Structure 1
Amino acid sequence: MGLESAVEKLDKYYSRLEKGKAQKIKPSHVDKILSKLEKKARLLKEEFDETKKPSKKERLASKLDMVREQQARARWLKEQIGDA
């Protein structure tokens, strides 16, 4: 699952939550997305640390910020649906 599909899935979960269908969201699914986002953040950080070109560092920093924002959204969603 690429970053875009993880974000799309997270957006769908948010939509379900807004419609009152949070019971259909399994915490394990959110955990899976969080895991994928954490892996992506780790890879981006490694690439950022190895990169010398300023323009590429800037792009990677932007992507890393976006991934961290999505991680925060996923953690919030997990809190809303509970661990049950």
Structure 2
Amino acid sequence: MNNVEKSEKAFTPMFFPYAPDQFLEQIRTVVREEVMPLERNQPTPVLYKTPGLTQKPIYKITEVCQLFQGTKPTIHSW
């Protein structure tokens, strides 16, 4: 058949009124703006150690769900 090697980078035309590099930079900027609030609003980690106790504390169901990354019905079925 046809054994022609392509040494050029494949170029897919985009139909935007911007240069591809400028368009990708705008996409990156939008993604950063949307991700920043999510990074700021991360939940505080649960304190699993209780100072002064010599025995392990009993965990609440929400803490067990977070620890094992499961739902309440899954935890109850165990």
Q: TM-score of the superposition, structure 2-length normalised?
A: 0.30
Q: Could you say which structure has the greater relative contact order, defined with CA pairs below 8 angstroms and 6 or more residues apart?
A: 1
Structure of higher CA gyration radius: 2
Please state which structure has a larger fraction of its residues in helix.
Answer: 1
Q: TM-score of the superposition, structure 1-length normalised?
A: 0.28
